[in-house]
Structure 1
């Protein structure tokens, strides 16, 4: 069974009845594009998960742009998709794995161990000539026993307390221009949370657009202990890619600050001015 990554060849070799597949393709600039791509063709028997509608709850100033989905509702989505403890779950997208990693984190946080991201995404699946389908699968029957999120989550107040502490390390997954406060195309303020360091998520990809090798990921995260590292980004999505790649490298899932920069902007404006000045 696979708990972090799975190759297209490995997925294609699995018996169809043993796997639940989720198509997580999405475009922040065109929110309907992922569903449109799914309708044009997807891996057979894959269900579609929308970042805004399924993998997040409604955005707010207090919670950020992509808060966690309602726990009970997300459990029901998984149950109706046939997720069971003995089944392999696979998530994929066509964006390097960042949206699939968000689904990976959420499903793993429900206590599902055997959930993996398809390395290389749908494009690689197509390149290898594997089957595609345009039909949506019918609802299934599954069971999730979790009663709360079961992966480490850090709240904004805890992050605020970390600023002047050396006990934990904050890692920002955004590109360097946003981290430095040079550019901010989405959120109301530019900069980063004070004391954070920058590990751009896309630098964890290889030249073909898949995840970097195990050796490369281990080198990338060698200075970060998963026990005291907290990952964040703009809204808690690309940070999940860093959480996944850190997990691959270390064998342990580090913590996630879900609200990320978009929540921080709404809750701690007094820290934003200091942050922007420091990173200018």
Structure 2
């Protein structure tokens, strides 16, 4: 009997059924995090989490070392990340489910990273922890026993780009840049995370929360497709570069585009925090 593989989203009901089935080919990750308090997500996990979930920390696992010039959350080394996930029991044939309680941005980061490692069977819990709790589904404070898995990186399913390409695009206009930050930060107002306010010249704004309904679930695929197509002006997804402040919330736009059937957009992982670290790079505001 074939087993359904989730590659974008999974509902709370379907995840509950998967957990109840006692599936030995699933790994569940709690990705909760707070950009202003790096211990908050881990403490929340220790208090309660979905049964069987392992915790992964944005800064320590889902990001690499910062140099001051490569952004606030640079990509980790592929081999290092794969080893850390395998240490949680991840095998190459596992269905991975990621969730958070912050609108999906940190779960989407893990979703994108696993695709970057070549793993397709990874999905985000639609509606996050809030959807799970609203359905009155059980939580646990027990940490799962870690058993080593055999997961290793393979050919990437996700595309990256770098600051050189983005800089070159200022004159070639080959790519459409989509900035996932809030509108005020995009304009250069109320900047609290980076030393410089503003955006990369030519970038257009698509706040990551615009992909969600009022209750925190993703909008239907056809709605997302229409909304992104209106931004792209018939440009194919392969000519899109997604960015944000540090390469995290842009992953939610990547997930939304995948749900919409718009495949192939690249992530500029360094994003605004890398771009603005060099005062020679131009800045736009307003």
Alignment of 1:24-63 (within 5 A): 24-63=31-70
Alignment of 1:105-124 (within 5 A): 105-124=112-131
Cα distance in 2 between the residues matched to 1:249 and 1:106: 19
Cα distance in 1 between the residues matched to 2:145 and 2:155: 27
- Matched-pair contact (CA < 8 Å) for 1:79–1:144: yes
Aligned position for 2:11: 7
Cα distance in 2 between the residues matched to 1:23 and 1:261: 26
Aligned position for 1:216: 223
Seen in structure 2, the aligned counterparts of structure 1 residues 182 and 251 have a Cα distance that, compared at 3 Å, is closer
Q: Which runs of 5+ in 1 are unaligned?
A: none
Q: 2:248 aligns with which of 237, 241, 248?
A: 237
Q: Which runs of 5+ in 2 are unaligned?
A: none
- SS of 1:99's equivalent in the other structure is helix
- SS of 2:177's equivalent in the other structure is strand
Alignment of 1:17-166 (within 5 A): 17-146=24-153, 149-166=156-173
Deviation at 1:149, TM superposition (A): 4.9
- SS of 2:7's equivalent in the other structure is coil
- Matched-pair contact (CA < 8 Å) for 2:208–2:252: yes
Seen in structure 2, the aligned counterparts of structure 1 residues 203 and 11 have a Cα distance that, compared at 3 Å, is same
Q: Does 1:262 align with 2:262?
A: no
- SS of 2:186's equivalent in the other structure is helix
RMSD over equivalenced CA pairs, Å = 1.5
The normalised TM-score by structure 2 is 0.92
Deviation at 1:181, TM superposition (A): 1.6
Cα distance in 2 between the residues matched to 1:150 and 1:117: 16
Across the two proteins, how many residue pairs are aligned to each other? Answer: 275
Cα distance in 1 between the residues matched to 2:211 and 2:241: 17
Q: Does 1:271 align with 2:281?
A: yes
**Stretch of structure 1 that moved more, 230-239 or 135-144:** 135-144
Deviation at 1:58, TM superposition (A): 2.4
Deviation at 1:251, TM superposition (A): 4.7
List structure 1 segments (4+ residues) > 6 angstroms apart after TM superposition. Answer: none
The normalised TM-score by structure 1 is 0.94
Deviation at 1:146, TM superposition (A): 2.2
Deviation at 1:147, TM superposition (A): 5.4
Q: Does 1:196 align with 2:207?
A: no
Cα distance in 1 between the residues matched to 2:64 and 2:152: 21
